[in-house]
Amino acid sequence: MHGPASSGWLLVALCAATGAYCLLRMRSHVVEQRRAAGGEALMGFGMAVMAVPAAVLTPPGWVWPALAVVFGAAGLHALWTARGGARHLHHLMGAGAMVYMAVTMAATGRGGAHGHGGAGVPLLTGALLLYFTAYVLATGVRLVPVASATGGAGAGAGWGDRPELARACRLSMGIAMVAMLLTL
């Protein structure tokens, strides 16, 4: 990632913490939540790897094609599961954005540096920025607390079964995606 190392490390910490929480969510008793959490953990850790400041570590040349293949496979899985509901299309968009960023980094030969601008296809980068910005705003609105007659939304729920924490996890990954796309 290009820019001050401190912001790069904050992005790494955010993405790694999100990935770790998603691993905790994989212990849920709900099968659909476990599956979603696995994909989101992969996304969080992949974003953490991509966000490591280039001044600290320049990854070997094989890392970017490997990430493109991993997230390409994740995108195919998301496409397959989207047959059961449109909610999986967001995972497809995230995987596609990760493939796009990995291919851009491999093509420019900049290793971990997320750009001096103009590295990607401006129209595609702009479309992804619009999508993830809208996603972040919509997810943020859904996190606004509403009065509950049940006496607490998360009372008695395990860490993997807390929908508000899952939304916060998705929100943080969306914000990180916007930050990474802005530096592309």
79-129 pLDDT per residue, tens: 998 887 777 789 899 999 999 999 998 887 655 444 445 577 899 999 999
User: With contact defined as beta carbons under 8 Å apart, do 62 and 80 qualify?
Assistant: no
The predicted pLDDT at position 184 comes to: 82
Backbone angles phi, psi at 28, to 5 degrees: -60, 155
For the record, the structure tokens of 115 come out as 């750009």
Whole-number Å distance between alpha carbons of 15 and 1: 13
Q: What is the pTM (predicted TM-score) of this model?
A: 0.83
Whole-number Å distance between alpha carbons of 181 and 97: 9
